[in-house]
C-alpha cells in the first residue's frame, strides 16, 4: 500500500503549513518500521502531532433571522417565501451568528445558501465573498449643487460625463484618477489589475445602475435635524434654499468582479480543507488568516476606488455645466463592515448604525426612477443588524416581467406611462422595461416599512427630474451577423438547388 501523501493529510483535515514537512518525515519513519496501513499511520500521526481541527459542517438548524418586511399580494408573498428559503440555508453556516432581511428583499436565483438582495448577516471572524456579491461596493453617491441650466441640458452634460453598457471605456478615452496610483497592486487579490481599474473610471455599467438628477428644498427643520445628529459639517455647507442633486449608483465594475472571483476561489479551497458539505455560496475565508487579511485590504481598496469613480463622474459633470459641489454624501450597500468582533455583510442593505463618533450614519435609499431618493439617518436597530433597505427591490424577474408585456406596444405604453413627467435617457438607445417603476415594489409601502420597523429617519427627499441608465443592451452573440464560410455558402446554394429541382419536378407532374 502507498504511504500517506500531502493530499491525504489535507483530506484528513490538516491545514497545509510548516508542520507538513515534519509529518511527512514521520510518515517515512513509519514506513521504515513496516507501517504502511494509512488508517493506522493517521492514528499514529494524531498521537505525535496535534490532531486536525474538527471538520466544519453546516448546522442542522439555522440561526435567528429578524424580518423587517411585510408581504402583501401574490407576488410579494411568493417573493418572500424564496427569500426565507435561501436565508434559512445560508444561516446554517457555522461562522454566521445571525441574520436579517430588509423591506426590499428579493431572491437572486436558485443558488443553495445564496444571500438574497436585501439580506444582512453578522459573521464571526470570517468573510463570505458571495454574501457581498461580485458587485463589490455597489454604492450611492450624491452631490448637491446650484442649478446651472435646464434639466435637458444638464442631462446632455451628464451623458458626456459618464458611460453605460458592457465593456469599458475606449482606450483613447480613459480617465485618470489618483486612486490608481496607490501602492496596492502587489496584493494577491489585486495583482495585475491596475489597467482594468483604469479602464473603468467614469464607467457605470448596466443593469440597475443609474445617474439621477433631482432637486430638494433644504429647510430650517432639515438643518436642525442634521445638527441634532451632529452632522455639523454637512449642515454648515447647506443653505435654506433649493438645490439640484446628482445621485449615481454603481459598483466596482470589472475590478470588483475579479477580486470577488479570486476571493471566492480562496474561500472554496479553504472550506474544502475544513470539510464538506459547505455550499459554494456559504464558503468563507478566516479573517485572521494571511488570505483573510489580504482580502480585507483588497476590499478596502475597492471601496476607495468606487468612491473615486463616483467622484470622477460628478467632477466631470460639474465641469461641463460650470458648477461646483456644495456638499457630498455617499454610502455602500454591497460590502463587509467590521464592527467590534463581527464582520457585517450586506447585499443590497444600507448601513444604518452609528459611526465611531456616535453619529447616526447618513444613507441614500433610491426607490425607482420616478420616485424620490431618500436621504436618511440610521436608527441603529440592533434587532435588524442596524441596516436599512438599499431601494425598493423587485417582486418579479426581468424575464417574468417581459412575459407579462409580450406585445411591443404594451411595453412601450408601460414605459411611457410609468416615467411620465421625468426626462429619462437610455445610454445604449433602447428602453429597458425591467428598470422602469413597474419592475419594483411600491415605493410608499417600502417607506412605510422603514418607518414601522424603525430602520431609519428621513432627512429629506430628493425629487426626480431626470434619469440616465444603460437601457436594454442587446447580447452581442444574438445581435451580430456572423460571416459565413465558403463551405457554408456552398451548402446553402446546394440546398437551394435541390429545392428548385424538387419544385420543378412537382410542377411538371
Give the DSSP letter string of 209-233: -EEEEEEEE--HHHHHHHHHTT-HH
Whether residue 228 lies inside any domain: the answer is yes
Say how far apart CA 334 and CA 85 lie, in whole Å: 21
Instruction: Using 70 as the pLDDT threshold, list the residues of the chain that sit under it.
Output: 1-3, 13, 52-55, 273-276, 474-509
Beta strands in 233-383 (DSSP E): 242-250, 285-286, 327-332, 334-339, 342-347, 349-351, 362-365, 373-378
Say how far apart CA 138 and CA 333 lie, in whole Å: 6
* 3-state SS, residue 456: strand
Residues 192 and 322 in one domain: yes
What pLDDT does 25 receive? 82
Let me know: does 259 contact 301? Beta carbons within 8 Å. no
- Residue that the C-alpha cell 445560508 belongs to: 90
Kindly give the pairing relationship between strand 423-426 and strand 456-469.
parallel
Let me know: does 178 contact 304? Beta carbons within 8 Å. no
Task: Give the residue numbers marked as catalytic.
Answer: 390
Say how far apart CA 98 and CA 80 lie, in whole Å: 18
- Flag whether 197 is marked binding: no
Other beta carbons within 10 Å of 191: 12
Whether residue 61 lies inside any domain: the answer is no
Residues 44 and 136 in one domain: no
Let me know: does 351 contact 361? Beta carbons within 8 Å. yes
- Flag whether 212 is marked binding: yes
Whether residue 293 lies inside any domain: the answer is yes
CB-facing half-sphere around the CA of 192: CA atoms within 13 A:
5
Supply the range of the domain harboring residue 24: 6-48
What pLDDT does 508 receive? 42
Residues 35 and 137 in one domain: no
Whether residue 320 lies inside any domain: the answer is yes
Whether residue 369 lies inside any domain: the answer is yes
Whether residue 488 lies inside any domain: the answer is no
Residues 140 and 32 in one domain: no
Residues 181 and 296 in one domain: yes
- Flag whether 103 is marked binding: no
Kindly give the pairing relationship between strand 210-217 and strand 139-145.
unpaired
Whether residue 422 lies inside any domain: the answer is yes
Looking at the chain, the number of H-run helices and the number of E-run strands are 16, 17
Residues 34 and 152 in one domain: no
Q: How many domains does the chain have?
A: 2
Whether residue 123 lies inside any domain: the answer is no
- Flag whether 292 is marked binding: no
Please tell me what DSSP assigns to residue 440.
B
What pLDDT does 507 receive? 46
Residues 185 and 331 in one domain: yes
Q: Could you tell me the CATH number of the domain that includes residue 137?
A: 3.90.1860.10
Say how far apart CA 331 and CA 313 lie, in whole Å: 16
Amino acid at each position: 500500500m502507498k504511504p500517506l501523501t500531502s493530499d491525504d493529510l489535507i483530506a484528513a483535515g490538516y491545514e497545509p503549513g510548516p508542520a507538513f514537512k515534519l509529518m511527512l518525515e514521520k510518515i517515512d519513519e513509519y514506513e521504515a518500521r513496516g507501517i504502511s496501513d494509512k488508517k493506522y499511520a493517521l492514528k499514529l500521526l494524531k498521537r505525535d502531532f496535534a490532531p486536525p481541527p474538527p471538520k466544519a459542517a453546516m448546522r442542522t438548524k439555522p440561526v435567528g433571522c429578524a424580518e423587517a418586511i411585510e408581504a402583501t399580494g401574490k407576488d410579494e408573498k411568493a417573493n418572500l417565501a424564496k427569500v426565507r428559503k435561501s436565508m434559512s440555508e445560508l444561516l446554517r453556516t457555522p461562522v454566521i451568528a445571525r441574520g436579517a432581511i430588509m423591506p426590499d428583499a428579493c431572491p437572486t436565483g436558485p443558488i443553495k445558501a445564496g444571500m438574497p438582495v436585501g439580506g444582512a448577516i453578522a459573521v464571526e471572524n470570517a468573510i463570505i465573498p458571495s454574501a457581498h456579491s461580485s458587485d463589490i461596493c455597489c454604492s450611492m453617491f450624491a452631490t448637491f449643487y446650484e442649478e446651472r441650466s435646464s434639466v435637458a441640458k444638464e442631462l446632455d452634460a451628464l451623458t458626456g460625463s459618464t458611460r453605460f453598457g458592457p465593456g469599458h471605456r475606449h482606450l483613447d478615452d480613459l480617465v485618470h484618477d489618483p486612486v490608481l496610483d496607490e501602492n496596492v497592486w502587489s496584493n494577491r487579490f489585486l495583482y495585475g489589475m491596475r489597467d482594468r481599474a483604469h479602464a473603468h473610471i467614469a464607467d457605470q455599467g448596466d443593469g440597475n445602475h443609474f445617474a439621477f438628477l433631482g432637486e430638494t428644498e433644504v429647510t430650517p427643520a432639515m438643518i436642525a435635524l442634521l445638527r441634532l445628529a451632529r452632522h455639523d459639517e454637512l449642515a454648515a455647507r447647506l443653505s435654506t434654499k433649493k438645490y439640484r442633486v446628482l445621485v449615481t449608483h454603481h459598483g466596482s465594475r470589472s475590478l470588483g468582479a475579479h477580486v470577488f472571483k479570486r476571493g471566492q476561489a480562496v474561500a472554496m479551497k479553504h472550506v474544502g480543507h475544513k470539510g464538506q458539505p459547505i455550499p459554494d455560496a456559504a464558503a468563507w475565508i478566516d479573517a485572521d488568516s494571511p488570505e483573510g487579511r489580504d482580502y480585507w485590504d483588497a476590499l478596502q481598496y475597492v471601496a476607495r476606488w468606487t468612491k473615486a469613480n463616483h467622484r470622477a463622474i460628478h467632477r466631470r459633470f460639474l465641469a461641463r455645466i460650470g458648477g461646483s459641489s456644495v456638499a457630498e454624501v455617499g454610502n455602500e450597500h454591497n460590502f463587509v463592515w467590521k464592527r467590534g468582533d463581527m464582520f457585517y455583510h450586506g447585499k443590497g442593505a444600507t448601513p444604518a448604525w452609528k459611526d465611531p463618533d456616535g453619529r447616526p450614519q447618513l444613507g441614500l435609499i433610491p426607490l425607482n426612477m420616478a420616485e424620490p431618493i431618500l436621504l436618511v439617518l440610521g436608527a441603529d436597530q440592533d434587532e435588524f443588524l442596524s441596516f436599512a433597505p438599499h431601494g425598493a427591490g423587485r417582486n418579479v424577474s426581468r424575464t417574468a416581467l417581459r412575459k407579462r408585456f409580450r406585445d411591443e406596444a404594451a411595453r412601450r405604453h408601460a414605459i411611457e406611462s410609468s416615467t411620465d413627467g421625468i426626462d429619462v435617457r437610455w445610454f445604449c438607445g433602447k428602453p429597458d422595461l425591467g428598470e422602469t417603476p413597474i419592475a419594483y415594489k411600491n415605493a410608499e409601502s417600502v417607506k412605510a416599512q422603514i418607518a414601522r420597523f424603525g430602520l431609519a429617519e428621513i432627512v429629506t427627499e430628493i425629487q426626480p427630474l431626470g434619469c440616465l441608465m444603460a437601457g436594454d443592451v442587446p447580447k452581442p452573440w444574438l445581435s451580430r451577423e456572423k460571416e459565413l464560410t465558403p463551405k457554408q455558402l456552398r451548402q446553402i446554394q446546394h440546398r437551394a438547388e435541390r429545392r428548385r429541382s424538387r419544385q420543378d419536378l412537382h410542377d411538371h407532374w
